[in-house]
Structure 1
Amino acid sequence: MAEMLLASLSPAARDEIQRLLYGPCEPSFVSALHKALADGARPDASAAGTGRGEHLLRRLGALGEVLPPGHDPFSDPARLAAAHAWTAVADPPLCLAALVHHVLCLGSMAHLSDEPDRLAPEMAALRAGQAKGVYLITEAGQANSHLATRTRAVFDPVGGGFVLHTPDPLAAKFASAGTLDVPQTGVVLARLFTGETDRGVFAFVVPLTHDEGLLPGIEVSSPIGLGALPLDYVQVRFHHVRVPYAHWLSDGARIGGDGTFHDPAGSHELRLQRTLRVGQGLWASMPAIAAATSRQSAVQAVNYARQRRTQGRLAPGVPLLSYRAQQRVVLGALADAFALTCAAHGAREVWTQSLSAPTQAEGGEAMSFTPWAAVSRPLAAYKAVAVRMAARITADCQHRCGVSGHLDVNRLAAYRGFHHAFDAAGGDSQLILYDIGRALVEQGPVAAEPDPPPVDPPVTSPRWWPTVLRRHQEELTRRLARRRDADAATPFDVWNPLLEEAGLLGETYATRLVAQDLARTLEETRDRTLAQALAPLAALHGVTSAHRWAGPLLTLGTLRPQNVEALPAVAERLCDAVLPHLPLLTEAFAHPDDIAAAPLAATDYNAALEATLTWTRGETA
Structure 2
Amino acid sequence: MPPVPAAVDPDTLTSLLDGRWAGLRADIRAEMAAAPYRDPIDLSVEEHRSRVFDQLTALAANDRAGLGFDKAYGGGSDIGGSVVSFEMLGFGDLSLMVKAGVQWGLFGGAVQLLGTAPHHERYLRRIRDLDLLGCFAMTEHGHGSDVQHLRTTATYDPDSGEFVVHTPDRGATKEYIGNAARDGRVAVVFAQLTTQGETRGVHAFVVPIRDDAGAPAPGVTIEDCGPKAGLNGVDNGRLSFDQVRIPREALLNRFGDVAPDGTYSSPIEGDARRFFTMLGTLIRGRVSVGGSAGSATKRALALAVRYAELRRQFATPDGEEVVILDYLGHQRKLLPALATSYALHFAQEELVAALHDITDDAPEQEQRELESRAAGLKVANTWHATAAIQAAREACGGAGYLAENLLPGLKADTDVFTTFEGDNTVLLQLVAKGLLTEYKDAFQNLSPLATVRFAAERVLGAVAERTSARKVVDRLTDGDDREALFDRDWQLKLFEDREQHVLGGVADRLRKAAQDPFGVFNAAQDHVLRAGRVHVDRLVLEAFVRAIARCTDPDAKALLERVCDLYALANIEADRAWFLEHGRLSTGRSKAVIAAVNTLCGELRPHARTLVDAFAIPEQYLAAPMLS
Structure 1-normalised TM-score? 0.84
Query: Which of the residues 59, 68, 71 maps onto 2:69?
Result: 71
Q: Helix, strand or coil for the counterpart of 2:20?
A: coil
Name 1:350's counterpart in structure 2: 354
Is the Cα–Cα contact under 8 Å of residues 181 and 235 in structure 2 kept in the other structure? no
How far 1:425 moved relative to its partner? 0.7
Contact 1:333 1:397 (C-alpha < 8 Å) held by counterparts: no
Q: Aligned AA for 1:247?
A: A
Once the two structures are TM-superposed, the CA of residue 394 in structure 1 deviates from its matched residue by 1.1
1:429 paired residue number:
424
What's the counterpart of residue 47 of structure 1?
none
C-alpha displacement of 1:458 = 3.5
**Equivalent of residue 88 in structure 1, options 83, 87, 90:** 90
Equivalent-residue separation in structure 2 for 1:375 and 1:348 (angstroms):
10
**Secondary structure of 1:249's partner?**
coil
One-letter code of the match for 1:516? E
Residue 103 of structure 2 is aligned with which of 101, 104, 107? 101
- Asked if 1:160 is matched to 2:169, the reply is no
Q: What is the CA distance between 1:327 and its match in structure 2?
A: 1.2
- Cα 1:85/1:270, change in 2 over 3 Å: same
Structure 1 residues 499-508 or 65-74, which shifts more? 65-74
Kindly provide the amino acid, as one letter, of the partner of residue 557 in structure 1: G
Measured against aligned partners, the alpha-carbon deviations of 1:40-79 in whole angstroms (never above 9, x if no partner) come to 63699xxxxx965554333223334241558347832332
> 2:52, 2:96 within 8 Å by CA — same for their partners in 1?
yes
2:148 corresponds to 1:147: yes
Question: Cα gap change, 1:143/1:81 in structure 2, threshold over 3 Å: closer, same or farther?
Answer: closer
TM-superposition CA deviations, 1:302-322 (whole Å, max 9, x none): 111111000267775110011
Partner Cα distance (2:174, 2:339) in 1: 40
Contact 2:224 2:235 in 1 (8 A): no
1:310 aligns with 2:310: no
Spell out the pairing of 1:314-325 with structure 2 (5 A cutoff).
Answer: 317-325=321-329
- Spell out, residue by residue over 1:560-592, the C-alpha distance to the aligned partner (whole angstroms, 9 max, x if none): 322221122212222233234334323212401
Partner residue in 1 for 2:454: none
2:251 alignment partner AA: W
**Quick check: 1:390 aligned with 2:385?**
yes
Judge which range, 130-139 or 490-499, deviates more: 130-139
Per-residue deviation, 1:238: 0.9
Superposed, 1:356-371 pairs within 5 Å as: 356-358=359-361
- Whole-angstrom CA distance in 2 between matches of 1:556 and 1:346: 32
State whether structure 2 residue 65 is matched by structure 1 residue 61.
no
Aligned position for 2:188: 187
SS in 2 for 1:219: strand
Give the equivalent residue in structure 1 for 2:532: 506
| C-alpha distance 583-178 of structure 1, shift in aligned 2 (>3 A) | closer
Greater length-normalized contact order (CA 8 Å, ≥ 6 residues apart): 2
For residues 544 and 472 of structure 1, the distance between their equivalents in structure 2, rounded to whole angstroms, comes to 15
For 1:468 and 1:414, locate their aligned partners in 2 and report how far apart those are by CA, in whole Å.
Answer: 38
Give yes or no for the alignment of 1:573 onto 2:599. yes
Q: Deviations over 1:91-114 (max 9, x none)?
A: 012212222222111111112111
Contact 1:149 1:201 (C-alpha < 8 Å) held by counterparts: yes
Alpha-carbon distance change, 155 to 312 in structure 1, aligned in 2, over 3 angstroms:
farther
Per-residue Cα deviation, 1:474-526 (whole angstroms, up to 9, x for no partner): 11122223333468622112111110111111111112111111111112211
Cα distance in 2 for partners of 1:559, 1:542 equals: 14
Q: CA deviation at 1:374?
A: 8.7
User: Could you say which residue in structure 2 is the equivalent of 1:213?
Assistant: 215
**SS of residue matched to 1:193:** strand
State the AA in 2 paired with 1:104.
L
What secondary structure sits across from 1:187 in the alignment? strand
Q: CA deviation at 1:18?
A: 4.5
**Offset at residue 290 of structure 1 (A):** 2.8
Q: Report the Cα offset of residue 462 of structure 1.
A: 4.6
User: Are the counterparts in 2 of residues 441 and 477 from structure 1 also a CA contact under 8 Å?
Assistant: yes
Structure 1 residues 434-513: aligned runs within 5 Å? 434-444=429-439, 458-485=484-511, 489-513=515-539
From 263, 267, 276, give the equivalent of 2:266.
263
Query: Would you say the 8 A contact 1:287–1:340 is kept in 2?
Result: no
1:466 touches 1:515 (CA, 8 Å); kept in 2?
yes
Which residue in the other structure is 1:409 paired with? Answer: 404
Q: CA deviation at 1:245?
A: 2.9
CA distance in 2, matches of 1:305, 1:160: 66
State the AA in 1 paired with 2:56.
L
The alignment partner of 1:57 has SS state of helix
Residue 28 of structure 1: how far off its partner (Å):
5.8
Deviation at 1:38, TM superposition (A): 5.6
Q: Which amino acid aligns with 1:323?
A: Y
Cα distance in structure 2, aligned partners of 1:63 and 1:432: 31
- Output one character per residue of 1:222-262: Cα deviation in whole Å (capped at 9) or x when no partner: 43442133233332101122223332111143323443211
Structure 2: runs of 5+ lacking an equivalent: 41-45, 440-457, 476-482
- State the AA in 2 paired with 1:512: R
Give yes or no for the alignment of 1:553 onto 2:555: no
Q: Is the 8 A contact 1:384 1:432 kept in 2?
A: yes
Provide closer, same or farther for how the CA distance between residues 514 and 363 of structure 1 changes in structure 2, counting only shifts above 3 A: closer
CA distances 1:454-487 after superposition (whole Å, capped 9, x unpaired): 8669422455443222111111122223333468
Distance 1:560 1:226, change over 3 A: farther
Amino acid at match of 1:283: R
Query: In structure 2, do the counterparts of structure 1 residues 181 and 500 end up closer, same or farther at CA, with 3 Å as the change threshold?
Result: closer
| Mapping for residues 200-349 of structure 1, pairs under 5 Å | 200-209=201-210, 210-230=212-232, 231-311=234-314, 317-349=321-353
Alignment partners' CA distance in 2, 1:167 and 1:440: 37
- 8 Å Cα contact 2:155/2:195 also seen in 1: yes
How far, CA to CA, are the matches of 1:177 and 1:441 in structure 2?
35
The answer to whether the 8 A contact 2:18-2:25 is kept is: no
Separation (CA, whole Å) in 2 of partners of 1:267 and 1:308: 62
User: Which stretch of structure 1 is more off in the superposition, 270-279 or 420-429?
Assistant: 270-279
Take 1:394 and 1:114, find their aligned partners in 2: how far apart are those partners?
A: 42
1:353-372 C-alpha deviation (Å, 9 max, x unpaired): 43x24167x7799xxxxxxx
**Does the C-alpha gap of structure 1 residues 175 and 326 become closer, same or farther in structure 2, counting only changes over 3 Å?**
same
2:115 alignment partner in structure 1: 113
Distance 2:178 2:556 in 1: 46
CA distance in 1, matches of 2:376, 2:347: 11
Equivalent residues of 2:195, 2:262 under 8 A apart: yes
Q: How big is the shift at 1:211?
A: 4.2
Counterpart Cα distance in 1 of 2:288 and 2:68: 20
Q: Give me the TM-score of the superposition, normalised by structure 2.
A: 0.83
Aligned residue pairs, count: 576
CA contact (8 A) 2:309 2:324 kept: yes
Indicate the residue corresponding to 1:21 in structure 2: 17
Q: Is the 8 A contact 2:173 2:238 kept in 1?
A: yes
- The 3 A distance-change label for structure 1 pair 420 and 443 is farther
Displacement of 1:300 = 1.4
* Distance across 2 between alignment mates of 1:556 and 1:240: 59
RMSD: 3.3
